[in-house]
Chains A and B, each alone.
Chain A
């Protein structure tokens, strides 16, 4: 027993040390900085041939910590143009911030974005106003490229005319000064342009300090737990560890019962765990890709991730909901810690979730989505989802004992939650002013996290981990406290 305790402590410590290092390399650059990109407007029309002597200016406010490049939408009129465009970035006072870049136009492709990378990124750029100035050197009629302008933003299904500020207007050089460019309807317009930059995170910079600090805390914590264990004093963590050990056999039996009785007398049995998410995905895929014309890239994986997560959450919570009243006969006759019942139900749904990752993996391979080491971060999202579901399950199980209306209310609420979670639509359709409420949904963060590592193959910024963990663990703690406070009254009410 004593040796075992020491072994557990050592394993915990080793796990922390290994996972901490592994995490640093798997999460990679996104711990230090995340790449961001902002597009201005959707192309509406061309500015016409950009010939020698012409100059245009586009002012913009940088929203990144560092500005690394800009992409310009260019048209070549389907021919080779031998011009040289001077790209300059000026600050508000008209001083050059970077060395002017010469952009040769000979090899440009028609109607594509050309990225101009700065020799050195512009640092400390956040919130600053810059001016992009483009000048043609040798452009002549029939030997010049053109740029595009617009005054609307594409949000997937509709174009929204945007109110462009005087300060953000595209200006052309006329006579001896720059004047705002107006389209045929007299509207102020913007140059079609996207700004690319990075946001820096302090987390990556101080990662190893935090890592060492965490190791120290863990060491002290383990030492404290071990001392308590030797003295026979009970701490929360210790009693959790002991009861997991004591009741692991029971939990295994209850989980296997859930599985056996779920698939008993069905022909396909376990296969349903694979088929269910796939079939749901197929239906929604057909509906949303043909009827609603979704423009989300890699929509199959996008959908499947959302469906799998939400299915687990809804299955686990609704199974937890009835776990106490459903086991009334047992609770009345034998003493077993009551949190075991919702726990075993969440575990069985969790196994279902793991099984449904198999079709997800197959779809990843079929759609040729590149699989990167970032996929190793998946357990974090799954663990958070597990805590969230268990916590909500505990809360619901408690409420269900006292108020049987809970099950009907929960049916409605989980439907509401389904529409409040970006399962089949992109989160960009949510208006900005609702976004802060929308982001309170823990499922949003978990699903966003999973999509980032599966579809984009990169980890999200460090803040995303924090949001994910906090929003999932708060419901868990609330559920746990409410359950523990009321569990003694269950016997009298079921």
Chain B
């Protein structure tokens, strides 16, 4: 068993106004208007994923897909329930979020790599490979604030895709950059998935899900609608979407 999720529930407490200062808090407290609306982003979600499976997660906007990925990567702790994982997790949730725009590309490789949990030795070994893959060449020594958005995505993808993780968590990042780089990054993704890696993939591209995934988890309004075979569930899901 690679991933075991048991009765995950995530509740957000939404105050009727977003209270962000002590004054507002005290005023609300005095007026007894401090009510909270509970919003359940995930409700009682349970599943088990075996080693090497590629799982697609589908659902309309606000179904709780990203919340589920955050819970599994450990970013968000579920209100109740638990997740057990075996092995290292690499979340590719939003590329380049750890970049410091005042630092050069080279410095950012080390900073971002450290944030992703790579060791110093590993990064030094892979440094040339990262630079080569990102196709940045001499731009690697100028501050990232001068990069184009495509360059930033290329660098971020090159860093994130260096390690072959036990569990890979992907949120719609299968293709970045221009057509040539999209092809290259797609190939890299395939390579990462082919090493017996367990993959959790969120995608709105149903064709992609059909092509890549062994099984599918279908979420709607925070609840699991169904877990099952790709073709079957994709068909059913598409039907609800077309209506």
A and B associate:
yes
Residue positions of A touching B, CB distance < 8 A = 249-250, 252-254, 256-257, 260-261, 264-265, 329-336, 403-405, 488, 491-492
* CB of B241 closer than 8 Å to a CB of A: no
Cβ-defined contact, A250 with B115, below 8 A? yes
* 5 A/B residue pairs, CB under 8 Å, sorted by A: A253-B115, A329-B94, A330-B97, A333-B75, A333-B94
Chain B residues near A261: list those with CB within 8 A. 100, 102-103
Chain B residues near A488: list those with CB within 8 A. 77
* CB of B196 closer than 8 Å to a CB of A: no
Which residue of the partner chain, among B21, B73, B76, B103, contacts A405 with CB atoms under 8 Å?
A: B21
| Cα-based distance from A252 to B114 in the complex (angstroms) | 9
What 15 additional pairs, Cβ within 8 angstroms, besides A252-B114, A404-B20?
A249-B119, A250-B115, A253-B114, A261-B102, A329-B97, A330-B98, A331-B75, A332-B94, A333-B93, A333-B94, A335-B73, A335-B74, A491-B70, A492-B13, A492-B76
Which of A264, A331, A333, A336: most chain B Cβ within 10 A?
A333
Chain A residues near B98: list those with CB within 8 A. 329-330, 333-334
Interchain nearest-CB distance for B209 vs A (Å): 23
Cβ-defined contact, B116 with A334, below 8 A? yes
Cβ-defined contact, B93 with A405, below 8 A? no
| Cα-based distance from A398 to B115 in the complex (angstroms) | 21
Chain A residues near B94: list those with CB within 8 A. 329, 332-333
Chain B residues near A330: list those with CB within 8 A. 97-98, 115
Interchain nearest-CB distance for A406 vs B (Å): 8
Which residue of the partner chain, among B21, B75, B103, contacts A404 with CB atoms under 8 Å?
A: B21
Interchain nearest-CB distance for A412 vs B (Å): 13
Which residue of the partner chain, among B13, B20, B22, B111, contacts A257 with CB atoms under 8 Å?
A: B111
Query: Smallest CB-CB separation from B10: which chain A residue?
Result: A492
Which residue of the partner chain, among A260, A333, A405, A491, contacts B22 with CB atoms under 8 Å?
A: A405
Query: Smallest CB-CB separation from A340: which chain B residue?
Result: B115
* CB of B120 closer than 8 Å to a CB of A: yes
Interface size class of B (residues with CB under 8 A): 20 to 34
| Cα-based distance from A480 to B13 in the complex (angstroms) | 24
Query: Smallest CB-CB separation from B101: which chain A residue?
Result: A261
| Cα-based distance from A25 to B61 in the complex (angstroms) | 70
| Cα-based distance from A154 to B220 in the complex (angstroms) | 80
Chain B residues near A331: list those with CB within 8 A. 75
Query: Smallest CB-CB separation from B100: which chain A residue?
Result: A257
* CB of B107 closer than 8 Å to a CB of A: yes
Chain B residues near A260: list those with CB within 8 A. 102-103, 107
Chain B residues near A333: list those with CB within 8 A. 75, 91, 93-94, 97-98
Chain B residues near A257: list those with CB within 8 A. 100, 103, 107, 111
Interchain nearest-CB distance for B224 vs A (Å): 22
Cβ-defined contact, B97 with A332, below 8 A? yes
Interchain nearest-CB distance for A330 vs B (Å): 5
Query: Smallest CB-CB separation from B120: which chain A residue?
Result: A249
Query: Smallest CB-CB separation from B78: which chain A residue?
Result: A488
| Cα-based distance from A330 to B97 in the complex (angstroms) | 6
Which of B23, B25, B114, B119: most chain A Cβ within 10 A?
B114
Residues 91-145 of B contacting A (Cβ, < 8 Å): 91, 93-94, 97-98, 100, 102-103, 107, 110-111, 114-117, 119-120
* CB of B12 closer than 8 Å to a CB of A: yes
Interchain nearest-CB distance for B18 vs A (Å): 10
| Cα-based distance from A132 to B76 in the complex (angstroms) | 76
Interchain nearest-CB distance for A348 vs B (Å): 13
Interchain nearest-CB distance for B57 vs A (Å): 17
| Cα-based distance from A336 to B77 in the complex (angstroms) | 13
Interface flags for B161-178 (1: CB within 8 Å of A; 0: not) read 000000000000000000
| Cα-based distance from A332 to B102 in the complex (angstroms) | 21
Chain A residues near B22: list those with CB within 8 A. 403, 405
Residues 13-54 of B contacting A (Cβ, < 8 Å): 13, 20-23, 25
Query: Smallest CB-CB separation from B108: which chain A residue?
Result: A257
| Cα-based distance from A211 to B114 in the complex (angstroms) | 41
Chain B residues near A332: list those with CB within 8 A. 70, 75, 94, 97
| Cα-based distance from A281 to B98 in the complex (angstroms) | 38
Cβ-defined contact, A335 with B91, below 8 A? yes
Cβ-defined contact, A405 with B23, below 8 A? yes
Among all A-B residue pairs, the 8 with the closest Cβ atoms: A335-B74, A253-B114, A250-B114, A333-B97, A488-B77, A261-B102, A405-B21, A329-B97
| Cα-based distance from A404 to B94 in the complex (angstroms) | 26
Chain A residues near B25: list those with CB within 8 A. 403
Chain A residues near B93: list those with CB within 8 A. 333-334
Cβ-defined contact, B75 with A334, below 8 A? yes
| Cα-based distance from A330 to B98 in the complex (angstroms) | 6
Cβ-defined contact, A336 with B115, below 8 A? yes
Query: Smallest CB-CB separation from A487: which chain B residue?
Result: B77
Residues 51-84 of B contacting A (Cβ, < 8 Å): 70, 73-77
Chain A residues near B115: list those with CB within 8 A. 250, 253, 330, 334, 336
| Cα-based distance from A408 to B73 in the complex (angstroms) | 35
| Cα-based distance from A460 to B21 in the complex (angstroms) | 44
| Cα-based distance from A254 to B98 in the complex (angstroms) | 10
Query: Smallest CB-CB separation from B20: which chain A residue?
Result: A404
Cβ-defined contact, A335 with B75, below 8 A? yes
Chain A residues near B23: list those with CB within 8 A. 405
Query: Smallest CB-CB separation from B41: which chain A residue?
Result: A492
Interchain nearest-CB distance for B104 vs A (Å): 9
Interchain nearest-CB distance for A132 vs B (Å): 61
Interchain nearest-CB distance for A339 vs B (Å): 15
| Cα-based distance from A405 to B93 in the complex (angstroms) | 31
Cβ-defined contact, A403 with B20, below 8 A? yes
Interchain nearest-CB distance for B172 vs A (Å): 13
Chain B residues near A403: list those with CB within 8 A. 20-22, 25
Which residue of the partner chain, among A249, A329, A404, contacts B114 with CB atoms under 8 Å?
A: A249
Evaluate whether A254 and B111 lie within 8 angstroms (CB atoms) in the complex, with A261-B102, A333-B93, A334-B91 already known: yes
Chain B residues near A264: list those with CB within 8 A. 102-103
| Cα-based distance from A405 to B26 in the complex (angstroms) | 13
Interchain nearest-CB distance for A484 vs B (Å): 12
Interface flags for B204-222 (1: CB within 8 Å of A; 0: not) read 0000000000000000000
Query: Smallest CB-CB separation from B110: which chain A residue?
Result: A253
| Cα-based distance from A492 to B13 in the complex (angstroms) | 9
Cβ-defined contact, B97 with A492, below 8 A? no
| Cα-based distance from A250 to B118 in the complex (angstroms) | 9
| Cα-based distance from A13 to B107 in the complex (angstroms) | 38
Interchain nearest-CB distance for B94 vs A (Å): 5
Cβ-defined contact, A491 with B76, below 8 A? yes
